[in-house]
Structure 1
Amino acid sequence: MARNRYDMDEVLEDSFDISQLKRLAGYVSPYKGKMVSVIFLMLSASALTMTVPIFFQRIMDIYIPQKDMRKIIMVSLLTLAVASYSAIAMRFKIKTMSVIGQSIIHAIRTDIFNHLQELPFSYYDDRPHGKIQVRVVNYVNSLSDLLSNGIVNTVTDLCNLFFIIIFMLICDARLTLVCLCGLPVLALVIIFIKKKQRRAWQIQSNKQSNLNAYIAESINGIRVTQSFVRENENNQIFNNLSGNYRKAWMKAIKFNFTMGPSVDMISAVTTSFIYVLGIGWILAPNATLTVGVLIAFTAYIGRFWAPINTLAGFYNSLLTAISYLERIFETIDEPVLVKDAEGAFEMPTVKGEVCFKNVCFSYEEGHRILDNINFTAKPGQTYAFVGPTGAGKSTIVNLICRFYNVDSGQILIDGTDIANVTIHSLRTQMGIMMQDSFIFSGTIMDNIRYGNREATDDQVIRAAKTVCAHDFISQMENGYYTEVNERGSRLSAGQRQLISFARALLADPKILILDEATSSIDTETEILLQKGLNELLKGRTSFIIAHRLSTIKNADCILYVDKGGILERGTHEELLEQKGAYYDLYISQYDFLA
């Protein structure tokens, strides 16, 4: 998925790769035994129903002229038995294939979601989240009918066609050839619309993706929208995107609806010829056709075109599914750029020394963010990063957690290159609080325990007390078991940060990373929090990013980051004595507060 916005279409593939259908077959394969049993049952039911027109032929040509009511009743009961067996087989098919179809859908959705969990931050930096979500939900759901009914129906109907043609030939070979004359015409229709139909559904999926991306963005930004009174402008954007989706859908569905009427028209024309020829042969002096045979044959005509209509529907579903499969497998195939190296080993128990050796990094080629960064933090030390927005402070701590891969250089923890250890063993020994204090839907207790599921309630409460979150949590209606909404909409920005702080601390990490941990906390709370932090930071290697310099005065080393490098380093007092960039930043904050 190339980088784009909600108003930019994704790249369309010029040709379909047949290997994608083979991959889909891989999901179907575990259920082939059950599908074979369903197909066998449906074929047996279909074969039995093929005898029904023969029953009617015998009734018309033999039993009625002979006035043999006993045989008429017997044939009627036999027809009822065949219908009952067919109904039971259909019920079994619907139930079994619904389970199989949804199981396959679940497997595909699980694979795509699991892969999304492994993709690096860079993947989510480059594309609207709504375009990712539509692939997991809408596109996968669109495969449901194809998997639940399409495959079995196709195999069954193909076999049915074979059976029907045999019975039609038994009835009358001449009429059968007339009926088959419609197939080449139908083939021409399919060839004519095939490429246009697939491209139309690709465009439709693009417009659906754009619309979904904008809806997700609008919901996430609703407070900003209402604050700046942007409702009318947003409605106009939505109407344009929705209108584009409607037009694309109408164009795509037009091709789908071409198949059904085409089949019906060809069927009607061939049936008319059969009636004209059949009646002519019946009325001829040397009649070569009976009324019963014509009635039986016309019954087979309906049965002949019904599976062809179903196959045409399957063809439509397949072309629609292909446009979605391309997007689904594209996401599953998205390379995991940050992953365990071959032969990666478990990170030993961390003591806390972190060393950057000539580290270079860029988000985009040719735009280097960090250039030859070097520093060493000893176990138990607190390092603070300051500097202008966009200088690379958050990038440095993200690299420690290996959320991105370095372009060159090394990051060592206790002398071990983190590129050589498993990501899970590395991050489980870190406590991390990002700038975005994300709160998940659920209880406050669950949110704090998110990074340490084994923690007891007492440990959760102790962590909350350390970061001064206990008081406001206790005052809520259900305390720690109060339900909060996604993103913590019921909580203030400061409360969300304190909960996220407690979540990071509960992991009891050897390396603690706090990215703007106190930016939304009032000064009074910050003073209380600082007391707890001073105690907590003992024995841990900590990295703190803060624009509020009062929170980092006691750091063992402060690094001033700008222009891709570390311009200054030292303690608070040492940097003030240098009267450089840090001094200017401190004085500007002091004057502002004054």
Structure 2
Amino acid sequence: MKVKKEDIKSGNIIDTNVLKRLYQFVKPYNRRFYFLVFLTLALAVLAPLRPFVIQKAIDQPIAQNDFQGLVSMTFILVGLLIMQAIVQYGHTYISGWLGQYIIRDIRLKLYRHLLSLRLKFFDKTPIGRLVTRNVSDVETLSDVFSQGLAGMIGDILQILFILIMMFAMSWKLTLVSLATLPLLFLSTYIFKEKVKVAFNEVRNAVSNLNSFVQEHVTGMAIVQIFTAEKREYEAFKKINNEHKKANIRSVLYYSVYFPVAEVIQATGIGLLVWYGSKGVINQAESGITLGMLIAFILYIQMFFRPIRLIADRFNTLQMGIVSSSRILNLLDNKEYIPNNGSYKPHEVHGDVSFKNVHFAYNEDEKVLKNISFEVKRGETVALVGATGAGKSSVINLLSRFYDIQTGNISLDGVDIKEYDLDHLRSNIGVVLQDVFLFSDTILYNITLGNPNISLQQVKEAAEMVGARKFIERLPDAYHYNVMERGATLSVGQRQLISFVRAMVYNPKIIVLDEATSSVDTETEEMIQSAIEKMMKGRTSIVIAHRLSTIKKANKIMVMDKGEIKEVGTHDQLLAKEGFYTQLYNMQYKEVSG
């Protein structure tokens, strides 16, 4: 089993199309968003005021031995600090709140969209990749809204206000202070590009890990049956190693960049102190005061800090754009069955008709060719044939899991596309060979959380199918947790639960897809009478490998390579000595042998 690796390319931070579409998720919270913008602006203004107040305190009350003036300046400084703390608290809380609400909405919309996609999409898309979209990618967006975007805007505004204050104080000290800035910009750019590549590799590795682990844990039985544990372990080790290498590369870039940035900043402060000290000594000539020099030292520290952070925030934003693009691409996927029908009859009788139906999962590979048949209310039609003959495709089309290319499928004389999709499917009870049970109680797996189905209805359906005794012998009975995929139950027990699940919705059409092929003979005999009760008064479509189970069918259709080769009752088909007779004789030999 090989999982196709996903290649994720860098996003463009100024991708206006992505940003516009992301803003649609911000709109419901516009008032908080604009308040956050106001708080960001307030923080950008408040922070640069502190060095200015300190400069005034040193140059005026301290230099003039004015104790009362110093007390006043101290109160102003404390007031600024308190105000900044309150604004910082509001900014942090609201940005986090906004981020969490937005990603909640995105995740809900994404999951709702996944629920509407047709099965064809899931046939060709690794589940692990969809998990990455709904969990990891959306979580990345949380960082964008709560840290990256607001933080970067705040940093840029703060840098702008600091420059204004510095130039207002002394343009000479400003130029000296920023002498090392080109070096910082160069190192920041190199760091940004290197980390961008590393982050892309990390996201690739995470997506590939999710896909690999999900698929191989699901297919663990196959891995162990064919003793492929060592090979699969080595394959996982390789993907995991790629993830480790990508993370280590990003750690290396961080460990190099921040010390380099510190050295550049320290060099800038050193030049400032050297030049500023000479200015303070020759104050009358230079106009540089001690308070001004101290304020500039504080400013240079405040100035370099956001520049260092911007590189990190930029990559957060960039990865957010990558995740956003992937999420939006999934939301743009139109592979869903359009629910344009509105027909909801009070009662469905169950007359099914296929007329000249052609269908292909892939356009160049037809699975069904010119299929035509009718099943009247209360009749049972059986589909038989070799694997790949197209039997399961027939029932998939009836439930509109896929749509046909040409032809017509009708229920009670009305095209199934005219029906409301939920109403159509609620009248078709399907029992599959491969029963899927959720990691939950038996009650939930039967009702699927439908509050309109009572426990009494479940018990009645279980009694009818013959599953009530084994269910009530279990610990907690209907509230017994079957664990993941029903691992604590036997194959026969899982199949019986699927029968109860089909019956509790009281469908007008029953579809049995190899429903008894996985159970032992004793269990099959036990549920045969239940199947007869289920079929009574209902239209039934049965797919069966065991021909002995369909002898009483009103009509048997033999399919081969997507076509109906023979139609008739069991006795009629045996008399023809054609395809059906060959299948019957092969099974008879297998049983007798």
TM-score range normalised by the length of the shorter chain: over 0.9
- Contact preservation (8 Å) 1:197, 1:319: no
Instruction: Describe how 1:400-411 pairs up with structure 2 within 5 A.
Output: 400-411=398-409
Q: Kindly indicate whether residue 3 of structure 2 is the aligned counterpart of residue 6 of structure 1.
A: yes
Q: Are 2:12 and 2:318, in contact at CA under 8 Å, matched by a contact in 1? A: no
1:102 aligns with 2:100: yes
Q: Where does residue 124 of structure 1 map in the other structure?
A: 122
**1:549 alignment partner AA:** L
- Aligned partners of 1:12, 1:40: CA distance in 2, in Å? 34
1:23 maps to 21
Asked if structure 2 preserves the Cα contact closer than 8 Å seen for 1:431 and 1:509, the reply is yes
**1:314 alignment counterpart:** 313
d(CA) in 2 for partners of 1:62, 1:233: 77
Post-superposition offset of 1:133: 0.8
Match of 2:152?
Answer: 154
Aligned equivalents of 2:251, 2:358: Cα separation in 1:
51
Q: Distance in 2 between matches of 1:238 and 1:196?
A: 26
Alignment-derived partner of residue 288 in structure 2: 289
Q: Deviations over 1:178-233 (max 9, x none)?
A: 44555555555666676665555344322221111111122212333334433222
Match of 1:423 among 415, 421, 441: 421
Aligned to 2:446: 448
Q: Distance in 1 between matches of 2:78 and 2:563?
A: 86
Query: What secondary structure is seen at the aligned counterpart in 1 of 2:143?
Result: helix
Separation (CA, whole Å) in 2 of partners of 1:543 and 1:205 = 47
Aligned letter for 1:395?
A: S
Distance 2:460 2:375 in 1: 28
**1:321 corresponds to which letter in structure 2?**
G
Secondary structure of the residue aligned to 1:586 is helix
484-493 or 148-157: bigger deviation: 148-157
Among 354, 364, 367, the alignment partner of 2:365 is 367
Q: What does 1:411-560 correspond to in 2, within 5 Å?
A: 411-450=409-448, 453-560=451-558
CA shift, 1:45, in A, is 4.8
Kindly report which structure 2 residues correspond to 1:332-347, keeping only aligned pairs within 5 A, or say none.
332-341=331-340, 344-347=341-344
Stretch of structure 1 that moved more, 85-94 or 38-47: 38-47
Residue 214 of structure 2: aligned partner? 216
Letter in 1 for 2:291: G
- Report if the CA contact (8 A) 1:101-1:144 is conserved: yes
Q: Which residue of 1 aligns with 2:171?
A: 173
| C-alpha contact 2:389 2:562 (8 A) present in aligned 1 | yes
Whichever residue aligns with residue 446 of structure 1, its letter is: Y
The CA deviation at 1:500 is: 0.8
Equivalent residue number for residue 324 of structure 1 = 323
- In the aligned structure 2, how far is the partner of 1:327 from the partner of 1:489? 34
- Contact 2:192–2:312, Cα closer than 8 Å, also in 1: no
Q: Aligned partners of 1:283, 1:15: CA distance in 2, in Å?
A: 50
Residue correspondence of structure 1 range 230-249 to structure 2 within 5 A: 230-249=228-247
- Is contact 1:205-1:323 (8 Å) kept? no
2:3 maps to a residue whose letter is Y
Closer, same or farther: CA 574–190 of 1 in aligned 2, 3 Å: farther
Distance 2:223 2:33 in 1: 51
What is aligned with 1:300? 299
> What does the per-residue CA deviation read over 1:144-187, in whole Å, with 9 as the maximum and x for residues that have no partner?
22211222223323322232122112221122234455555555
The 8 Å contact of residues 11 and 319 in structure 2, kept in 1 or not, is answered as no
The answer for unaligned runs of 5 or more in structure 1 is: none
Equivalent position of 1:70 in the other structure: 68
Asked if 1:88 is matched to 2:86, the reply is: yes
Checking the alignment, whether the CA contact within 8 Å between 1:383 and 1:543 is kept in structure 2 is yes
* Aligned equivalents of 1:256, 1:116: Cα separation in 2: 37
The one of 572, 575, 586 aligned to 1:574: 572
> RMSD between aligned alpha carbons?
2.5
Aligned-partner Cα distance in 2 for 1:48–1:123 = 53
Which amino acid in the other structure matches residue 168 of structure 1?
A: M
Deviations 1:471-525, CA, capped at 9 Å, x for gaps: 1101101111212212111111111111011101111111111111112222222
Alpha-carbon separation, structure 2, partners of 1:311 and 1:445? 53
Whole-angstrom distance in 2 between the partners of 1:100 and 1:199: 29
Which moves more between the two structures, 582-591 or 117-126?
582-591
| Residues 198, 323 of structure 1: 8 Å contact kept | no
Distance 1:354 1:476, change over 3 A: same
| 1:240-296 deviation line (CA, Å, top 9, x unaligned) | 111122223444566667765665454344333323322233344834312221111
- Cα shift readout 1:347-394 (whole Å, capped 9, x = no counterpart): 433211111111111112211111111111111111111111111111
* 1:398 match: 396
Contact 2:359 2:367 in 1 (8 A): yes
Distance, in Å, in 2 between the alignment partners of 1:152 and 1:9 is 30
Q: Is the 8 A contact 1:45 1:82 kept in 2?
A: no
Compared with structure 1, are the counterparts of its residues 106 and 168 closer, same or farther at alpha carbon in structure 2 (3 Å cutoff)?
same
Letter in 2 for 1:94: T
User: What is the CA–CA distance in structure 2 between the aligned matches of 1:581 and 1:452, rounded to whole Å?
Assistant: 44
Call closer, same or farther: CA 1:466–1:354 in 2, change over 3 Å.
same
| Cα shift at 1:321 | 1.4
SS of alignment partner, residue 50 of structure 1: helix
SS of match in other structure, 1:66: coil
Residue deviations 1:415-449, cap 9 Å, x none? 21122333222112211122321111221112111
Q: Structure 2 CA distance, aligned partners of 1:421 and 1:253?
A: 57
Shift of 1:534: 1.6
Specify which of 132, 139, 142 is matched with residue 140 of structure 2.
142
* 3-state SS of paired residue (1:550): helix
Partners of 1:81 and 1:277 in 2: CA distance: 32
Hey, what's the Cα distance between the residues in 1 that align with 2:247 and 2:481? Answer: 40
The superposition leaves residues 81-140 of structure 1 with CA deviations (integer Å, 9 ceiling, x where unpaired) of: 322222222222222222211111111111111110011111111122111111111111
Contact preservation (8 Å) 1:260, 1:313: no
**8 A Cα contact 1:6 1:211, kept in partner:** no
Q: Size of the alignment, in residue pairs? A: 589
Letter of the 2:550 counterpart:
I
SS at match of 1:374: strand
Contact map agreement 1:555 1:571 (CA 8 A) in 2: yes
Instruction: Evaluate the alpha carbon distance shift between residue 55 and residue 14 of structure 1 in structure 2; reply closer, same or farther with a 3 A threshold.
Output: closer
Bigger Cα displacement from structure 2, 4-13 vs 197-206: 4-13
For residues 156 and 169 of structure 2, what CA distance do their matches in structure 1 show?
Answer: 20
SS of residue paired to 2:583: helix
CA deviations over 1:519-550 (Å, ceiling 9, x no partner): 22222222232222222212211111111112
Provide the residue aligned with 2:224 in structure 1.
226
Distance between the aligned counterparts of 2:10 and 2:299, measured in 1? Answer: 42
TM-score by length of 1: 0.92
Asked if 1 retains the 8 angstrom alpha-carbon contact of 2:26 and 2:33, the reply is: no
The alpha carbon displacement at 1:72 in A equals 2.4
Pick closer, same or farther for the CA change 1:123–1:196 going to 2, 3 Å: farther
Single out whichever of 74-83 and 354-363 deviates more from structure 2: 74-83
